[in-house]
A and B are shown apart, each in its own frame.
Chain A
Amino acid sequence: MTVAIGVLALQGDFREHLLMLESVGAHGVEVRTPQDLDAVEGLIIPGGESTTIGRLATMFGLIEPIRQRCSKGMPVFGTCAGMIFLATSTVGKEQPQLGVLDACVERNAFGRQVDSFEADLDVVGLQEPMHAVFIRAPWIEKIGADVEVLASVTDANGLHHPVLVRQGRILASSFHPELTDDARLHKMFIDLVEGA
């Protein structure tokens, strides 16, 4: 039997993640409540507005249950807003976060929507680069010792900023693989869930 992988469906592009899971033969399930969470073996947190997602997750009592599942080893994968929501802090104003990924994230790090872009990105462990879509995307400003950087970008001053990281069973990207046909990160995540 294939394992059920949850996609947090409070706001954002959760449907694209569900379609991506379906395209590689995995079983995706919408998660809106703590009860929904009990029924899944892994959780994807989609792109969207991190403040909106964080606020709804707080109101519907999802923050603690997700933290507890993570501490028991449930794999999670966050894209863009999902990365922000997983992290411990942001540069600037405080907002609801899970704090399971040991990282400080800069929101809208590349600028506003006119600065959004797509580009090829080299990823550790992947033969061919990924075509990555960055939309009002964050990057990681500071990481903890247990966080492995799988891809980064270079800013105008030549400084590197992580945009794809892994910490144990937590995977987080600044960009949106779910908006492309490239399912390699989703497959990597499914392997984490099946191996958990």
Chain B
Amino acid sequence: MTDATTQHGTDKVKRGLAEMLKGGVIMDVVSVEQAKIAEDAGACAVMSLERVPADIRAHGGVARMADPGKVEAIVNAVSIPVMAKSRIGHFVEARVLESLGVDYIDESEVLSPVDVYHIDKRAFTVPFVCGAKDLGEALRRIGEGAAMIRTKGEPGTGNVIEAVKHMRKVTAQIKWLTTLGPDEIMNAARDLQAPYDLVKEVAASGKLPVVNFAAGGIATPSDAALMMQLGCDGVFVGSGIFKSGDAAERANAIVQATTFHNDAAMIAKVSKNLGEAMVGINIDTLPESELMQHRGS
């Protein structure tokens, strides 16, 4: 299409892809083989990275974007959208991923941040997803051009408590905004440290202007359904799948539980005999310095 009315990389087009992912499961993969397993299990997209968060925790050191050769191989291997993670503030990693044909970039706290500033995401044609612990953080990222939001949770722990906290916080803050009068919005924007126009928009609509997924610690079909019932639009599963006993079975079960998240009998059925879930970590045993959710806010 070369028509004069044709526009690429608009908010509508960027946010639109996230709309198409709703009700689906996006799975972390570190190889072509895993990407194919995820696609066959019904993932609506895959997230390409060098190591899953649980291994990043175990490995220590600086975590960077995945090897471009690996990302490209995954892009060529599956027909579903491919996402990839860049470090917070690393706009060159993001440009590299964009040039490889990645469909969404996750500017992610799972990797080691390189700047106090986040990437100017409006400068890109490819859309971005970013993590948030609360509404102010979500609206700051949307203000920078993020076209999709996810809870931060606490990645690589297999423990969903932080994702629940973050989702509940965002929901409660949105409810609170809808109770405010026009004279109260500016102070709310100050308290949330969020752009006034976005705060005003959310107060009027009662919802985020972009899709909001759950992420960070989801390990079981019930975890996924819990996040859906708390109001998320879909789920990211990181270490939960490929750090468990039978990855394909678990991936498949989480996909079904996400679609039928209100049907307890169905969740029970798909959860039977899945084998061992990933080993979890209790968040209060982690020293503050090892929490990923405080990176970039």
Say whether A associates with B.
yes
Q: Which residues of A contact B (CB under 8 A)?
A: 9-16, 32, 47-49, 51-52, 55-56, 59, 80-81, 92-93, 107-108, 110, 112-120, 133-136, 153-156, 176, 179
Q: A49-B45, A135-B20 are in contact. Are A119 and B13 (CB under 8 A)?
A: no
Q: Identify 20 new A-B residue pairs, CB closer than 8 A, beyond the known A10-B23, A114-B101.
A: A9-B23, A10-B259, A11-B24, A12-B22, A47-B20, A48-B21, A48-B23, A49-B21, A49-B81, A51-B80, A80-B20, A112-B103, A113-B17, A113-B102, A114-B126, A115-B8, A119-B7, A120-B3, A133-B13, A134-B13
Contact: A51 with B24, CB < 8 Å?
Answer: no
B280 at the interface (CB under 8 A from A): no
Contact: B259 with A136, CB < 8 Å?
Answer: no
Contact: B17 with A55, CB < 8 Å?
Answer: no
A-B pairs with beta carbons under 8 Å apart, 6 shown: A13-B22, A49-B80, A56-B259, A107-B79, A114-B98, A114-B126
B residues less than 8 Å from A108 (CB atoms): 79
B residues less than 8 Å from A14 (CB atoms): 23
Q: Tally chain B residues at the interface, Cβ within 8 Å.
A: 40
Contact: B256 with A11, CB < 8 Å?
Answer: no
Contact: B260 with A32, CB < 8 Å?
Answer: yes
Q: Which residues of B contact A (CB under 8 A)?
A: 1-3, 5-10, 12-13, 16-17, 19-24, 39, 42-45, 75, 79-81, 98, 101-104, 125-127, 255-256, 259-260
Cβ 8 A contact of A113, one of B23, B39, B126: B126
Q: What is the CB-to-nearest-CB distance from A180 to chain B, in angstroms, rounded to a whole number?
A: 8
A residues less than 8 Å from B260 (CB atoms): 32
B residues less than 8 Å from A114 (CB atoms): 8-9, 98, 101, 125-126
Q: What is the CB-to-nearest-CB distance from A145 to chain B, in angstroms, rounded to a whole number?
A: 27
Contact: B255 with A52, CB < 8 Å?
Answer: yes
Contact: B39 with A179, CB < 8 Å?
Answer: no
Q: What is the CB-to-nearest-CB distance from B105 to chain A, in angstroms, rounded to a whole number?
A: 10
Cα–Cα distance between A114 and B105 once the two chains are bound (Å):
12
Q: What is the CB-to-nearest-CB distance from A129 to chain B, in angstroms, rounded to a whole number?
A: 8
Contact: A56 with B16, CB < 8 Å?
Answer: no
Q: What is the CB-to-nearest-CB distance from B99 to chain A, in angstroms, rounded to a whole number?
A: 9
B residues less than 8 Å from A135 (CB atoms): 13, 16-17, 20
Cα–Cα distance between A80 and B45 once the two chains are bound (Å):
16
Contact: B101 with A52, CB < 8 Å?
Answer: no
B residues less than 8 Å from A113 (CB atoms): 17, 81, 102-104, 126-127
Most buried by B among A52, A117, A133: A52
Contact: B19 with A13, CB < 8 Å?
Answer: yes
Contact: A16 with B19, CB < 8 Å?
Answer: yes
Most buried by A among B9, B12, B43, B102: B12
Cα–Cα distance between A11 and B101 once the two chains are bound (Å):
24
Cβ 8 A contact of A52, one of B12, B19, B42: B42
Cα–Cα distance between A112 and B126 once the two chains are bound (Å):
10
Q: A49-B21, A117-B7 are in contact. Are A56 and B255 (CB under 8 A)?
A: yes
A residues less than 8 Å from B16 (CB atoms): 116, 133, 135, 176, 179
A residues less than 8 Å from B104 (CB atoms): 113
B residues less than 8 Å from A118 (CB atoms): 6-7, 10, 12-13
Closest chain A residue to B10, Cβ basis: A118
Cα–Cα distance between A59 and B259 once the two chains are bound (Å):
12
Cα–Cα distance between A138 and B12 once the two chains are bound (Å):
18
B residues less than 8 Å from A179 (CB atoms): 12, 16, 19
